[in-house]
């Protein structure tokens, strides 16, 4: 009984962490699934979203005049909502710009895309350094989701549960978009057979542009939600790319539910190892990947991927 009582907080914590991992992987999964492209700039877009949100939530208003005074009189909650809405929109535009640069690499070896997105990641990270500096920054959160609560004698962070809840909301939103809208059907069809989609009269160029924009904006959403927990620094994106890639491989390339389930599994494994064998906590996700890939080469929910061709 004691073991269960001891383990329970770690399972709850692992589930919450898993939802955050799934949130990180969503945008990555979308771009890989539809465009067959590993977007190494995913982490930098994540960081860019967080920095833009920070600027919108807690700006330095020197030189803004009366607008700045008015803006800072808005409640922190309202400024947070503005940041959470506008930062992903801005990053979507940056993502679309990146997709336009990508066009010359389509139909060529996968390395071209990898190199281009890697270069873009470096450019974005250095731009962040130039604009916001390299020191640690802080992304404030509304009072109503800060602080902590006690349950079963343990202290839990309000924000972590808000973030996990927001993760569920975003997962549901993306699922509804993909499953219940005609745009989602086109995206899924594009992922399955892009040439057939083109033959049916869908403008594939616009489709790719929109998917890249959507994937980038999801990276930014994850950035805004995660950085109050992980901290904000120009290279924070580096901490994101590897887990995101691992999760989509574990879940199966292009599988929506694969990414969600894999994210939760990784969260559980990292959380439980963190409690009982902490020196293995980071390594545990790789061990999980090795075990799964050994028995299911295409991941948990994977079907034959276009990347295999």
Partner 1 sequence: MVSKNFTKTTRVLAAGMAFAAITAGSAVAAEPLIIGLTSDASGQYANSGASDRRGMQMAIAEFNAKGGVLGREIKIVHIDTETTPATGSRVAERMISRENVGFMIGAVSSGVANAISQVAQKYGVVYLNTNSSSPTESGKNCHRVKFVWDGNGKNFAQAAVKNAISSYGKDWLLLTNDYVWGHNTSKATRQLAVSHGAKIIDEIMVPQGTRDFSATLLKVQQKNPKVIAAAVGGDDLKALRQQVGQLDMGAKYAWINNQQDWPDVYGLPMKNLFGVFGTTWYYKLDLPGVDDFVKRYQAMYPDTKIRVPGNVFYNGYWATRSLLEAIETAGTTNNHAVIKQLEKLRIPAATRMQHDDAYMDAKTHQMQQTVYLATANTGSNDKDDMFRILSNSSPEKVADMAAQSTCNLESFADTPVVTR
Nearest to 91 by CA among 214, 198, 217, 218: 217
Q: How far is the CB of 156 from partner 1 (least distance, A)?
A: 7
Q: Give the shortest CB-119-to-partner 1 separation in angstroms.
A: 16
171 contacts 259 by C-beta, under 8 angstroms? no
The yes or no reply on residue 274 touching partner 1 (CB under 8 A) is yes
Binding characters for partner 1, 248-267, by CB under 8 A (x = yes): --------------------
Q: Which residue lies nearer to partner 1 by CB, 92 or 222?
A: 222
Q: Report DSSP state, residue 157.
A: E
Instruction: Check binding of 157 to partner 1 (CB under 8 A).
Output: yes
Rounded to a whole number of angstroms, the minimum distance from the CB of residue 245 to partner 1 is 15
- Given a contact cutoff of 8 angstroms between Cβ atoms, the answer to whether 199 and 22 are in contact is no
Cβ contacts of 270 within 8 Å, gap of 6 or more: 14, 17, 281, 282, 284, 285
**CB-based burial of residue 184 (10 Å sphere; 0-12 exposed, 13-18 middle, 19+ buried)?**
middle
- Does residue number 235 form part of the binding site for partner 1 (CB under 8 A)? yes
DSSP category for residue 181: S
159 backbone dihedrals φ, ψ, rounded to 5°: -65, -40
**Residues shown for the chain:** 309
Q: Which of 170, 233, 245, 288 binds partner 1 (CB under 8 A)?
A: 233
User: Is 148 an interacting residue with respect to partner 1 (CB under 8 A)?
Assistant: yes
User: Which range binds partner 1 by CB under 8 A, 7-15, 33-41, 174-182, 189-197?
Assistant: 7-15
Q: Residue 248's closest CA among 223, 235, 236, 265?
A: 265
* 16: its two tokens: 């919450």
Q: Does 118 bind partner 1 (CB under 8 A)?
A: no
Q: Which is nearer to partner 1, 6 or 205 (CB)?
A: 6
Nearer to partner 1, 115 or 147 (CB): 147
- Asked if residues 102 and 116 have their Cβ atoms less than 8 Å apart, the reply is yes
Minimum distance, C-beta of residue 19 to partner 1, in the bound complex (Å): 12
- Which residues bind to partner 1, rule: CB under 8 A? 6, 9-10, 13-14, 16-17, 133-138, 146-148, 153-160, 228-231, 233, 235, 239, 270-275, 278-283
């Amino acid at each position: 009984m004691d073991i269960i009582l001891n383990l329970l907080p770690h399972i709850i914590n692992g589930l919450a962490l898993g939802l955050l991992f799934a949130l990180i992987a969503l945008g990555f999964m979308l771009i890989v699934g539809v465009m067959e492209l590993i977007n190494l700039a995913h982490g930098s877009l994540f960081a860019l979203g967080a920095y833009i949100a920070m600027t919108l939530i807690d700006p330095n208003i020197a030189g803004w005049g009366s607008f700045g005074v008015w803006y800072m009189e808005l409640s922190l909650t309202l400024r947070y909502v503005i940041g959470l809405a506008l930062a992903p929109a801005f990053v979507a535009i940056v993502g679309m710009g990146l997709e336009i640069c990508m066009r010359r690499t389509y139909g060529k070896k996968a390395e071209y895309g990898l190199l281009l997105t890697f270069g873009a990641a470096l450019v974005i990270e250095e731009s962040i350094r130039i604009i916001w500096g390299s020191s640690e920054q802080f992304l404030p959160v509304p009072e109503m989701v800060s602080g902590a609560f006690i349950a079963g004698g343990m202290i839990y962070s309000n924000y972590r549960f808000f973030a996990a809840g927001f993760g569920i909301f975003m997962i549901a939103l993306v699922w509804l978009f993909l499953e219940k809208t005609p745009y989602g059907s086109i995206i899924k069809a594009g992922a399955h057979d892009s040439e057939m989609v083109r033959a049916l009269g869908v403008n594939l160029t616009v489709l790719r542009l929109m998917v890249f924009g959507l994937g980038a904006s999801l990276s930014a959403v994850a950035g805004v939600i995660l950085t109050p927990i992980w901290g904000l620094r120009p290279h924070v994106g580096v901490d994101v790319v590897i887990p995101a890639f691992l999760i989509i491989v574990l879940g199966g390339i292009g599988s929506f539910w694969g990414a969600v389930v894999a994210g939760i599994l990784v969260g559980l494994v990292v959380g439980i190892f963190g409690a009982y064998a902490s020196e293995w906590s980071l390594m545990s996700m790789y061990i999980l990947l090795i075990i799964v890939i050994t028995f299911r080469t295409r991941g948990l929910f994977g079907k034959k991927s276009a990347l295999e061709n």
